[in-house]
Amino acid sequence: GKRAFIAGIADDNGYGWAIAKSLAAAGAEILVGTWVPALNIFETSLRRGKFDESRVLPDGSLMEITKVYPLDAVFDSLEDVPEDIKTNKRYAGSSKWTVSEVAESVKEDFGSIDILVHSLANGPEVTKHLLETSRKGYLAAISASSYSYVSLLKHFLPIMNPGMYLVSHLISPCGSSISLTYIASERIIPGYGGGMSSAKAALESDTRVLAFEAGRKQKVRVNTISAGPLRSRAAKAIGF
């Protein structure tokens, strides 16, 4: 079976959860990366059976999550983490949650993965018009919602099972990676502010470049899906 790492699950309402379920139903082993500040409540809810109803797969069995890794995808390595985050009580209880450390832990635990899913975004000023957005807010949106994908792929690529060709025949399936984008990258969607429209445009452009690079380097596919509106936690926060 295949092994998938899904970054960006903290409850059972978002796209990450739904993708995990589809992959589990198709027989994949599920590893999850959960934003550090949301980790405690997610793990507690899982343990207490709060998600059991939504864990039910089409064959009646329950989706198993093999391991939940704490993750903050705006930090690539420990050296990038500022002191106030290191000592923040929501972060201090966990360790090895920067992107490079999570990839390292997954490598230690499982050796390799076949599927990488990026289902995360954050725009601290998303409720502000682009005209009212600060430089800090704009860059934070790009960091959490666009560069986070570049970084995840960069650090996970070495442990992604490559596709293999014999002469011109694909003899083993390629590793594969997807992210989720939104139509606001190409059309005006009032309310999707704070640089989030810019972040999705970057994500889409990066998908083309990363597909070119990761395809040639390792025969790993890179795609993004422009998803329709879903009342996830993130979407409710901006009143969608």
Which residues, 6+ apart, have CB-to-CB distance to 113 below 8 Å? 3, 4, 5, 31, 106, 156, 159, 160, 161, 175
**Active-site position among 15, 69, 147, 192:** 192
Token output for 184: 């606001």
Amino acid sitting at position 193 = G
Pairing of strands 176-181, 115-118: parallel
If binding is defined by CB under 6 A, does position 152 make contact with ligand NAD?
no
- Binding to ligand NAD, residues 186-225 (CB under 6 A): none
Identify which of 28, 44, 31 has the alpha carbon closest to the alpha carbon of residue 71. 31
If binding is defined by CB under 6 A, does position 230 make contact with ligand NAD?
yes
Identify which of 90, 106, 103, 184 has the alpha carbon closest to the alpha carbon of residue 145. 184
- Binding to ligand NAD, residues 90-119 (CB under 6 A): 119
CA angle 228, 209, 221 (to 5 degrees): 70
Q: Can you tell me which of 186, 233, 238, 239 binds ligand NAD, judged by CB under 6 A?
A: 233
Report whether 124 contacts 134 (CB < 8 A).
Answer: no
Report phi then psi at 46, rounded to 5. -60, -50
Q: Can you tell me which of 6, 31, 71, 142 binds ligand NAD, judged by CB under 6 A?
A: 71
Active site (annotated) includes residue 182: yes
Which residues, 6+ apart, have CB-to-CB distance to 87 below 8 Å? none
Widest distance between CA atoms in the chain: 55
Stretch that binds ligand NAD, among 45-53, 106-114, 164-172, 232-240 (CB under 6 A): 232-240
Residue closer to ligand NAD by CB (options 105, 119) is: 119
Residue closer to ligand NAD by CB (options 33, 219) is: 33
Residue closer to ligand NAD by CB (options 4, 10) is: 10
Active site (annotated) includes residue 192: yes
Could you give the angle at which helices 148-156 and 196-218 cross, rounded to 10 degrees? Answer: 20
Cross-strand bridge partners of residue 68: 32
Nearest distance in Å: CB 94, ligand NAD: 12
Stretch that binds ligand NAD, among 54-62, 65-73, 157-165, 206-214 (CB under 6 A): 65-73
- CA 68/CA 63 separation, integer angstroms: 13
Residue closer to ligand NAD by CB (options 14, 219) is: 14
Q: Can you tell me which of 98, 100, 105, 122 binds ligand NAD, judged by CB under 6 A?
A: 122
If binding is defined by CB under 6 A, does position 39 make contact with ligand NAD?
no
Nearest distance in Å: CB 30, ligand NAD: 15
Nearest distance in Å: CB 122, ligand NAD: 4
Binding site for ligand NAD (CB under 6 A): 8-10, 13-16, 35, 38, 71-74, 119-122, 144, 180, 182, 227, 229-230, 232-235, 240
Q: Which residues are catalytic?
A: 182, 192
